[in-house]
Amino acid sequence: MDQYVGKLLDNRYEILDAIGVGGMAMVYKAYCHRLHRFVAVKILRKDLASDAEFRRRFHDEAQAVAMLSHPNIVSVYDVSRDQDLEYIVMELIDGITLKQYMKKKGGILSWREALHYMTQIMRALSHAHSRGIIHRDIKPQNIMVLRDGSVRVADFGIARVMSAAQNTLTQEALGSVHYISPEQARGSHIDERADLYSAGVVLYEMLTGRLPFEGDSPVSVAIQHISSIPLSPRELNPEIPEALEAITLKAMASNVDRRYKNAEEMIRDLEEFRKNPNINFGYEHHGLLQSDEPTQVIDTSITSSLSRRKVPARMADASNDLYSYDEYRTTSQRRIAERRPDQKRSSMVPIIAVVSVFLVAVGIFLWMFFFSDLFKAAESINVPRLIGRNYEEVLADTTITDHFVIKQTGTKASPDYDEGQIIEQDPNENSEVKGEKPEISVVVSSGKPSITMIDVRNMEYVQARQQLIDMGLNVKEPQYAPHDEIVKNYVIASLPPEGTPMAPGDSVQLTVSTGQAKKEVIVPYLVGNYTRQQAEEILRDKYSLKCTVSGEVYSDTVESGKVASQSIPGNTTVEAGTTISIQISRGPQNPSPKTKTIKINLPKDKDFVTVQVTVGGVEQFNQTVNTSNSPLMVDVTGKGKQQVNIYFDGEYNSGNEYDFDS
């Protein structure tokens, strides 16, 4: 049995079952005893939870993501610690990952379905980017597909935390290498356009059923993201409209300046295409990489410690004028462009030379990395303290900006710092970082908080909502949950809780009581099993149900004196206190049994179903059938008026009274 199943975290979350495993955590289904709802709990691996710096980053990122509220983003409810366990509490999603869904559909989705999913993914990214949060790890495994066709993007901010623990997460990070942007592979500064590249790879995979780059190792795949070009989606699947291919390739442009500037821009193109699939965007997609900076090999999140190396300038510029979207063709692994006839001979020699130099350089580098003791790590830089300094003054301080990229990731009210001062930084001061102009993310004070969250528990919802609005706060749509003590339409809890410093416009989530939870019981099978007295006692004493007797009937299948029928079939879930009406058998009557054929419409949401048919409570048919054979015709036999019930996989579906003598 799993070591965490049955454990109660923080005297609140009861772990029920393991539902998934990831590189950094196990995911469990749990029940929140405080808000009376099912949730997903992600428990960090113990080796990560023991790292104080990792825990700090983990908490900071989770707290930031918890502020996201969007129908296409998995909600984060809580982040906490119980003894030696670090965990996140999230919305429990009833669905499967996009990766699993594509596999279930044979690998390739129709372009209409791919458009439907990608539009929702981009809306999620647009919401997160507008709040300064970059996902960094967009891939089908982090996208959930629900039964209603909607999608939820999960694990926002986790990639940023994982990068802090790259020495222990190297193997886990490899699963994402097929989706990383070239700038991530190079270890360069990234912005929201890295997410757009990864989303483009996901769209490419949905449309073609394959990844744009494959290789024998993560390093080889990452290098292809930097220096290779994928096969045209339409050459892999001619049914893809040209405009959708253009959107895919623009999102996947190696040069960030050729990509969409932001998620909203890509959403506009997706919407224009949805309205008119024959639209021509007029984008040019160049056949080789046009880098905005010297090409470098992947950073430590992929290979643990690859240092940066430059590609010869002629190779980086080789595609500037010689290749276009309409000119390149495919080979078994990548596209080879056809040169114009007048340039074919003159350009072949330098290209062969450049490629040879590149291959030799890669070979030497790999030998040094795997076998040589001469390989040295990049020089470390000590991070200065920025907390307490004015953000604008830091941007103007060349002693800092000459060595670091300063990026504001958000604002937050602070009781300790004036407006404009930096209140958080990542990495922390005195941290050792490597690379050319590494990034320092900062949060800037929006001023000292002027609002303190009040206690609204056990307050009538309408009154609580209006009071919070009058304070200048934004009240989100309420969540509802049963509660044994708090009456219906009164507030159970608020997030954030009472006493939290807040600023005008901050959001508040209220949980409202639906009243006491109704006790439910399962009706027992009575027919043919119990006498009247036994049935009344069992229903009353064991199941908290009421019993009435509506009369006696003849029955060829149930012996005299026992229950011949019941108003609510056995195995049906009802509220406690429900009345069950029964009829008592008078034994058989003279007429010989007759046969009737009944038609059963089978369910459409499964491939096979076990069908059970009872006549007067006695089973006459029980078989597992293929639902494609719907409707199913079944012959049943009986005398006089008999109740015929139909069960699917042991659960009551329908029932009718038939007169076999008519």
pLDDT in tens, 93-134: 888 999 999 999 999 999 999 999 999 999 999 998 988 888
Integer-rounded Cα radius of gyration of the chain:
32
Choose among 438, 442, 429, 427: nearest CA to 401: 438
Over residues 613-626, the mean pLDDT reads 93
The CA-based diameter of the chain, rounded to the nearest angstrom, is 106
Q: Which two tokens stand for residue 580?
A: 């069950």
What is the tens place of the pLDDT at every residue in 310-321? 333 323 333 333
Give the SS3 label for residue 186: helix
Q: CA 393 to CA 373: how far, in whole Å?
A: 44
Is 95-371 in CATH node 1.10.510.10? yes
Q: CA 265 to CA 122: how far, in whole Å?
A: 10
Q: CA 597 to CA 342: how far, in whole Å?
A: 82
Range with lowest mean pLDDT among 52-61, 304-313, 603-612: 304-313
Main-chain phi, psi angles of 625, to 5 degrees? -130, 160
| CA of residue 119 relative to chain centroid, distance | 15
As annotated, the active-site residues are 137
DSSP 333-389: SSEEEPPPHHHHHHHHHHHHHHHHHHHHHHHHHHHHHHH-TT--PPPEEEPPP-TTS
Fold of 451-513: Trypsin Inhibitor V; Chain A (3.30.10)
Is 381-445 in CATH node 3.40.50.620? no
pLDDT at 36: 85
Over residues 546-556, the mean pLDDT reads 91
DSSP element (H, E) containing 145: strand 143-146
Q: How many CB atoms lie within 10 A of CB 410?
A: 15
What is the tens place of the pLDDT at every residue in 164-199? 444 333 334 444 789 999 998 888 888 999 999 999
Query: Residue ranges of the domains in the chain?
Result: 8-91, 95-371, 381-445, 451-513, 592-662
HEC readout, 555-575: CCCCCCCEEEEECCCCCCEEE
Are 292 and 260 a contacting pair, CB within 8 Å?
no
Range with lowest mean pLDDT among 14-18, 79-83, 197-201, 335-339: 335-339
496 Cβ neighbours under 8 A, 6+ residues apart: 453, 502, 508
What is the tens place of the pLDDT at every residue in 372-418? 443 344 467 889 999 999 999 999 888 888 889 999 988 887 777 88
Q: How many CB atoms lie within 10 A of CB 257?
A: 9
Residue 292 to residues 177, 253, 358, 498, 584, Cα–Cα distance (Å)? 21, 11, 19, 50, 86
Choose among 497, 656, 653, 505: nearest CA to 571: 653
Q: Kindly report the length of the chain.
A: 662
| Entry pTM | 0.47
What is the tens place of the pLDDT at every residue in 324-372? 333 333 333 334 333 334 444 444 545 555 555 555 555 555 544 444 4
pLDDT at 634: 94
Q: CA 334 to CA 214: how far, in whole Å?
A: 10
What is the tens place of the pLDDT at every residue in 430-488? 888 887 788 999 999 888 767 889 999 999 999 999 999 988 889 999 999 888 788 89
605 Cβ neighbours under 8 A, 6+ residues apart: none
Q: CA 476 to CA 510: how far, in whole Å?
A: 7
Name the CATH architecture for the domain at 592-662.
Answer: Sandwich (2.60)
Are 599 and 629 a contacting pair, CB within 8 Å?
no
Choose among 194, 121, 197: nearest CA to 159: 194
Q: What is the CATH number of domain 8-91?
A: 3.30.200.20
pLDDT at 361: 53
b/e map of 32-61 (b: 16 or more CB within 10 Å)? beebbbebbbbbbbeebbebeebbebbbbb
Choose among 244, 249, 252: nearest CA to 278: 244
Q: How many CB atoms lie within 10 A of CB 576?
A: 12
What is the tens place of the pLDDT at every residue in 518-537? 788 899 999 999 999 999 99
Q: How many CB atoms lie within 10 A of CB 648?
A: 17
481 Cβ neighbours under 8 A, 6+ residues apart: 35, 36, 37, 492, 511, 512, 513, 514
Are 42 and 51 a contacting pair, CB within 8 Å?
no
547 Cβ neighbours under 8 A, 6+ residues apart: 535, 536, 539, 540, 579, 580, 581, 582
What is the tens place of the pLDDT at every residue in 126-164? 998 988 888 888 999 999 999 878 899 988 755 454 444
Are 600 and 646 a contacting pair, CB within 8 Å?
yes
